[in-house]
Structure 1
Amino acid sequence: MVKEALTERANLIEIAPHLAYPFPIMLPIYKYWQIPYFWAGIKMYDFVAGKQKLKSSYYLSKKKALEKFPMLKKEALKGALVYYDGQHDDARMNIAIAISTARMGGSVANYIEVLELHKSKDENGKEVVSGARVKDRITDKEFNIKAKCIINATGPYTDHIRLMGNKDDQKICQPSQGVHIVLPDYYSPEDMGLLDPDTSDGRVIFFLPWQKVTLAGTTDVACEVTDKPSPSENEIQFILSEVRNYLHQDVDVRRGDVLSAWCGIRPLVMDPNKSDTQSIARNHIIEISENNLITIAGGKWTTYRHMAEETVDKAIDVCNLKTTSGCRTKGLMLDGAHGWSPTLFIRLVQDFGLENEVAKHLASTYGDKAFKVAKLATLTGKRWPVSGKRLHEEFPYLEAEVRYAVREYACRAVDILARRTRLAFCNVHAAEEALPRIIEIMTEELKWSKSRQQAEMEHAKQFLRREMGLDLGAGTSSVPINFTKDEINMYVKRFKSLDYENKGFITVNDLRRYFKKIGERVTEDQLHDILNEVDLNKNAQVDIGEFLQLMSALKSGNVSNSRFAKAVLKSSELDRIPVERSGGGV
């Protein structure tokens, strides 16, 4: 399996060099015995790769490791091992494969749902699958498709399609969900990732530079298949906790730094003898049902081409399909790769007056098709850049990419946010800000009605809220602080009344003292819950900024049931001195 994956990895980098490339990953070492242990492992990895090896792995001293990864935890660090793997733009790779298929005569249909499988008798009287009833999810129209052979390659929906063929079939897949989060770029160096193969619960954690931000993950939990998988706050906190374990104490890993969070479903092949998802094999299987439905399940991105080759070979044999040649996909350049070179972006800058960052993005995303995108770019009206209006000022995505995406089967606003650009993944708030303009451009291209525009807006916002983490961590954090000078002074005074040791932040100990002072019984779990509801950074401390944020939310009506806020208000009432005891009055 490893040899196959390494061979396919090398092929992927060859056929799509603009999308896939070698990438170094560091394994920090904190125990001396791990040095020979991990060294032997990665050198065996190099040996198995043979000629397919990307670059040789190597050892870094503690000093060199900290030079490469200065935010790494210094205490007890012995050194680090670095090995090379591949990194790619998975969304664009998927589009490149689809476009390449269409260019070679294949038919590609987007937003088509299978409703049922049709069956008929073959020449021997055997009942076999012979077509499907499908539905266009955009227009809601249904129609039939005839087929000599049907291949079920539907990932997490594998068993859903299999049961259409035979409702008595046993399930062969165990879906598992994995959550990823995105952090600002300063959480990782530009050219190296970090992997921890031994987290607190035995899973693997990583954080990598990706799309000018830092990608961190992942979790691995058995789940049910859903069209709208959502990340949970607990999973986000788990990843942040593991990231904290590997970063220097000077690096404050804050919940507020999470720019986006999402959940994916892995279609793992289930081992019926084991229950935990970590023991499920990641390799693929090909199943032939009694009615000739061919199912390919499991596997991973790296080996997609080999999986397809094996599956089609099986289909030719099982369904008696005629062929004119053997498989030709190995070494076949994907869309955009033919005229690409590492310096292609320079021509984009010179020919179209694009910004350097934008030109590099277009070249590394579209390859030699970047010129087609650049031709759609509008003039900026500035001296520089001459052309190329951005969708969002923080990211290199152009308005022209929306128009180009429509020509590449993009049908909905969500397609642009998440499946053509990576804006929703890089920063969910930036995606929300860019959404109205995206809908405007798609309306110009696709002639959408007012009702369709409204539907797209609602659909995209729901996607960002439920599937990209926009709702998580919301509440007080989204409310602007809006106080007068006197109000700020009043709330600062209240903050200091709870901050018993004048530390600059409030902790559980402060709350414990406060509730004891007023004679109210509160359990330890309740204390932590009260603190956690306003602790935006999730560092077990409430600083003055978080405190003012909550008070502002309370004042504006965005928060009405905060137990922390009620404690603050009660504290202010207790601190008031009655007139008759103040020494004043008449």
Structure 2
Amino acid sequence: MAFRRALRRTALLGGGAVVTVFGLSQLLEYRKKQARLAHVAAEGELNIPFARELPSRAAQLSALRSKEEFDVLIVGGGTSLFTFQSDFSSGTSSRSTKLIHGGVRYLQKAIMKLDYEQYVMVKEALHERANLLEIAPHLSAPLPIMLPIYKWWQLPYYWAGIKMYDLVAGIQCLKSSYVLSKSKALELFPMLKKDKLVGAIVYYDGQHNDARMNLAIALTAARYGAAIANYTEVVSLLKRKDKEGVEQVCGARCRDLLTGEEFDVRAKCVINATGPFTDSLRKMDNQETPNICQPSAGVHIVIPGYYSPDNMGLLDPSTSDGRVIFFLPWEKMTIAGTTDTPTSVTAHPMPGEEDINFILNEIRNYLSPDVEVRRGDVLAAWSGIRPLVSDPNSKDTQSICRNHVVSISPSGMVTIAGGKWTTYRSMAEETLDAAVKEHQLSAEPCRTVGLLLEGGRGWTPTLYIRLVQDYGLEVEVAQHLASTYGTRAFDVAKMAHVTGQRWPIVGKRLVSEYGLLRPQLCNKYESVL
């Protein structure tokens, strides 16, 4: 979310070379120092209207219904910027691979095809990866990912590519990649197929709780004064004629889906950040406008945790049809999935048997024959729509942009489409830069690099111990609360207090196998959602 001090009101509907010189400890200390300086720069002079308690959804809607004209109205409830017709993060933003990454395969294409645009995209994503890990430490962490090698000639080939990935990251390299022998690879990933295994390469990317990250962005926006509302849909766009008689978008007619009430939200600028449904809002502005969204589905399945180690992922860089598959540990389970399967935007499609069986077959190709991969082991499956786009300003209207596109319609509506989770912040910054320039809004430069998200301020990896000691929570429950809410976990723990009982205070779990507590369903700090 690109916050700007001078934007009065915002409505959101729906959020290498250096490594070889420094030792690891000096590198980590340098990064921590830079992060502290960035936090100071980002937060030093920012006003926080709701520093103590967030306004309720009713209060947010009251602000939206007011006669005041907002500077910016943002339509969409995903990561880019936020009214939304369902829960925040109920769409693609919660159906990702859970990775914060620069894109190893994009770097490969950049090198092999001498594609500078791909290189710039990877460079930007690696910068944003480091920033996201810093601003949401409770929701994200580095994750080692293993690339098993089954042919001798692939070892130097992939090794050079992965080291180039480290080099492009530079000072923001999470941890240096390394090569493993066959025996060491099997020790760390005993489920791997042993036959013809040469060795493995391990590199680092980030992993995050995508749904909670989206909520943290929304809550942070609300804390800094944005009016946000879920279960609120745009019925139509409001327009007025400028001095030249050209119709300009000046807001939206909205409907509260919980009550059916309709109301107008007026704004100097409307931003279309609706992801896969980008073209729907564009056609609401102008029925003749061409489609730019090329939806692509990422299909994922959830299988038992014994398919992967607790702290190591695996990358299959070349499947039978050329796609990439990840096997990643997640919430005591394993996520396996692919990207870039053509789909429709009419609704989030359910993965078909063909998709599920494809993933299972690829898993069989990499796992030991001793591990029986069964269809009955699939515990869940989902499909998230990635809004690949063609640039409306490009002469080649059929070309697909792997990055994101910011465009402005003749009526002044700003559209942000494409991109990926990792680069949400830079996408938001670029979008607001375009909005500020187009509509001559008064705003200072973006201040979100280093700006801690909700729950991140004061968080430490040992915070859960205080929850155990102060509230008598089970260790697993305390760890879950600390990694879900960050420093706000104490407020949830207080709600789990048993009247008349001082210690131990054990909150009632919703599911016995997980640390979910009943009070999480009615956490007052999420009443805004």
TM-score, scaled to structure 1: 0.67
Unaligned 5+ runs, structure 2: 1-120
SS of the aligned residue for 1:150 comes to: strand
Contact 1:282–1:300 (CA<8 Å) still a contact in 2?
no
- Kindly state the Cα deviation for residue 219 of structure 1 after the two structures are TM-superposed: 4.5
Distance 1:384 1:211, change over 3 A: farther
Q: Which amino acid aligns with 2:467?
A: L
Q: Which amino acid aligns with 2:492?
A: V
Match of 2:38 in 1: none
User: Superposed, which structure 2 residues align to 1:339-378 within 5 Å?
Assistant: 339-378=458-497
Q: Which amino acid aligns with 2:483?
A: S
Q: Among 149, 156, 168, which residue is 2:269 paired with?
A: 149
Match of 1:27 in 2: 147
Match of 1:196 in 2: 316
Contact 1:27–1:196 (CA<8 Å) still a contact in 2?
yes
User: Superposed, which structure 2 residues align to 1:324-343 within 5 Å?
Assistant: 325-343=444-462
Unaligned 5+ runs, structure 1: 411-586
Match of 2:182 in 1: 62
- Kindly state the Cα deviation for residue 220 of structure 1 after the two structures are TM-superposed: 2.7
Match of 1:90 in 2: 210
- Kindly state the Cα deviation for residue 406 of structure 1 after the two structures are TM-superposed: 7.6
Match of 2:165 in 1: 45
- Kindly state the Cα deviation for residue 288 of structure 1 after the two structures are TM-superposed: 0.8
Partners of 2:453 and 2:502 in 1: how far apart? Answer: 36
| 2:242 equivalent to 1:122 | yes
Q: Which amino acid aligns with 1:343?
A: T
Q: Among 337, 355, 358, which residue is 1:235 paired with?
A: 355
- Kindly state the Cα deviation for residue 211 of structure 1 after the two structures are TM-superposed: 1.4
- Kindly state the Cα deviation for residue 237 of structure 1 after the two structures are TM-superposed: 0.9
SS of the aligned residue for 1:256 comes to: helix
Match of 2:374 in 1: 254
- 1:540-569: CA deviations, max 9, x gaps? xxxxxxxxxxxxxxxxxxxxxxxxxxxxxx
- 1:370-419: CA deviations, max 9, x gaps? 00011111449999963211001011111111111783444xxxxxxxxx
- Kindly state the Cα deviation for residue 251 of structure 1 after the two structures are TM-superposed: 0.2
- Kindly state the Cα deviation for residue 103 of structure 1 after the two structures are TM-superposed: 0.6
Match of 1:15 in 2: 135
- 1:479-514: CA deviations, max 9, x gaps? xxxxxxxxxxxxxxxxxxxxxxxxxxxxxxxxxxxx
User: Superposed, which structure 2 residues align to 1:426-575 within 5 Å?
Assistant: none
Partners of 1:224 and 1:70 in 2: how far apart? Answer: 39
Partners of 2:346 and 2:513 in 1: how far apart? Answer: 32
- Kindly state the Cα deviation for residue 212 of structure 1 after the two structures are TM-superposed: 1.4
Q: Which amino acid aligns with 1:338?
A: R
Contact 2:128–2:426 (CA<8 Å) still a contact in 1?
yes
Percent identity (aligned)? 64
| 2:285 equivalent to 1:178 | no
Contact 2:295–2:388 (CA<8 Å) still a contact in 1?
yes
Q: Among 389, 392, 401, which residue is 2:511 paired with?
A: 392
SS of the aligned residue for 1:149 comes to: strand
Distance 1:358 1:386, change over 3 A: same
SS of the aligned residue for 2:269 comes to: coil
Match of 1:108 in 2: 228
Distance 1:226 1:379, change over 3 A: farther
Match of 1:467 in 2: none
Contact 2:348–2:384 (CA<8 Å) still a contact in 1?
no
Partners of 1:268 and 1:223 in 2: how far apart? Answer: 11
Partners of 2:479 and 2:500 in 1: how far apart? Answer: 22
Partners of 1:330 and 1:206 in 2: how far apart? Answer: 29
Contact 1:380–1:387 (CA<8 Å) still a contact in 2?
no
SS of the aligned residue for 1:108 comes to: strand
- Kindly state the Cα deviation for residue 342 of structure 1 after the two structures are TM-superposed: 0.7
Higher strand residue share: 2
Partners of 2:481 and 2:281 in 1: how far apart? Answer: 37
Partners of 2:295 and 2:486 in 1: how far apart? Answer: 34
Partners of 1:65 and 1:385 in 2: how far apart? Answer: 43
Count of paired positions:
406
Higher helix residue share: 1
Q: Which amino acid aligns with 1:234?
A: E
SS of the aligned residue for 1:147 comes to: strand
SS of the aligned residue for 1:342 comes to: coil
SS of the aligned residue for 2:277 comes to: helix
Contact 1:380–1:388 (CA<8 Å) still a contact in 2?
no
User: Superposed, which structure 2 residues align to 1:267-416 within 5 Å?
Assistant: 267-270=387-390, 280-323=400-443, 325-379=444-498, 386-404=505-523, 407-410=526-529
Partners of 2:140 and 2:335 in 1: how far apart? Answer: 17
Contact 2:348–2:385 (CA<8 Å) still a contact in 1?
no
Distance 1:273 1:242, change over 3 A: farther
Contact 1:378–1:389 (CA<8 Å) still a contact in 2?
no
Quote the RMSD (CA, aligned, Å). 1.9
- 1:29-69: CA deviations, max 9, x gaps? 00111101101111111111000100000000000000000
| 2:180 equivalent to 1:76 | no
- 1:204-235: CA deviations, max 9, x gaps? 01110011110110253211113342111111
